[in-house]
Amino acid sequence: MDKILKLKRELIISTLSLVLVLLFSSTLQAQKLRFSYEASQVKMDSTWDKNNDMVIQGIIDFYKPELDRVMNEVIAVSEVEMRSGRPESLLSNFAVDLLYEYSKEASGGRVDFALTNFGGLRAALPKGDVRRYDIFSIFPFENYVVIIDIWGKDLIDLFNSMASRSVEALSYNVLVEISNGKLKDVLLEGEQIDITRKYRVATIDFLLGGGDSLSALTRATEVENTGVLLRDAIIKMIEERSALGQKLTSSITNRVRYE
């Protein structure tokens, strides 16, 4: 019996050794080979509709009418068309200011300023009727609103980083001055940032994780996850204004200045 077990173990070991040798040999051979490929354009158009799975298509057909109704609902009226662009724009100012107002409401007013990124703004807001679909088009990503506590010295590093690369969208109570790619001055509510004080900043989880190279935000000492998507926060603030009979608007405030 012992001899049989011994033979089995030796057979397994021999087999594994052979497999490893073959894999190693194949890897060496693959490294010596030159590969080639061909590419062709495949149009993603209506010709693919005929291949739809009937069950999946049935689910889509069931929910589509209600989804279309909700997404095409007019939730506000805008006085102007808003587009995005650095260092500030109608759309970026509009979005980050609403984020700031929402975060103050959500936290009982304990927010110093708001920050979001230009990369998250993916479409323009139209003049006139604004549908729910328009807001989803502008904010297609699943970015959650977070409120963080961060030291003033780390905020200075944050603004220095933006000055040397590219600024992101900042709420109306921030003034940044940049000269020759360096931070000249930054004021919050008209005052210098105190490096020994903690500040509360409303932003999104993507940036909190160091997205868009804003690594200074990863030094946050505390994080409040609101559990609310940025677009849902924006929609809430828009609907509040619409309920009061207010039209949407925005303006350039020169909150970012270059010399």
pLDDT of residue 24: 47
Please name the amino acid found at residue 95.
A
At 35-49, the pLDDT tens digits run 566 788 877 777 666
pLDDT of residue 38: 78
Q: Most distant CA pair in the chain: distance in Å?
A: 90
Using CA atoms, how far residue 81 sits from 2, 130, 159, in Å, is: 84, 10, 29
Q: Is pLDDT larger for residue 33 or for residue 150? A: 150
**pLDDT (mean) for 140-156:** 97
- Number of other CB atoms surrounding residue 68 within 10 Å: 11
Q: Where are the domains of the chain?
A: 68-258
When pLDDT is cut at 50, 70 and 90, the band that residue 22 belongs to is: very low
**pLDDT (mean) for 127-152:** 97
Q: Is pLDDT larger for residue 3 or for residue 174? A: 174
Indicate the SS3 state at residue 251.
coil
Does 12 have pLDDT greater than 70?
no
Strands 182-188, 174-179: pairing kind: antiparallel
When pLDDT is cut at 50, 70 and 90, the band that residue 52 belongs to is: low
pLDDT of residue 1: 47
68-258: CATH, from 3.90.1150.10, 2.60.40.10, 3.40.50.720, 3.90.780.10? 3.90.780.10
Kindly report whether the global pTM for this prediction surpasses the value 0.75: yes
Closest to 166 in 3D by CA, of 213, 106, 205, 206: 213
At 86-132, the pLDDT tens digits run 999 999 999 999 999 999 999 988 999 999 999 999 999 999 999 99
Comparing 52-56, 75-79, 123-127, 141-145, which segment has the lowest mean pLDDT?
A: 52-56
Tell me, what DSSP letter sits at residue 245?
A: T
Indicate the SS3 state at residue 15.
helix
pLDDT of residue 21: 44
E-strand ranges in the chain read: 74-78, 113-116, 128-131, 144-151, 169-170, 174-179, 182-188, 191-192, 198-204, 222-229, 256-258
Determine contact, residues 177/186, Cβ cutoff 8 Å. yes
Indicate the SS3 state at residue 132.
helix
If phi > 0 it is left, if psi is from -120 to 50 it is alpha, else beta; for residue 180 that is left
Q: How far is Cα 241 from Cα 250, in angstroms, rounded to an integer?
A: 13
Averaged pLDDT score across all residues of the chain: 88
At 201-259, the pLDDT tens digits run 999 999 999 999 999 999 999 999 999 999 999 999 999 999 999 999 999 999 999 99
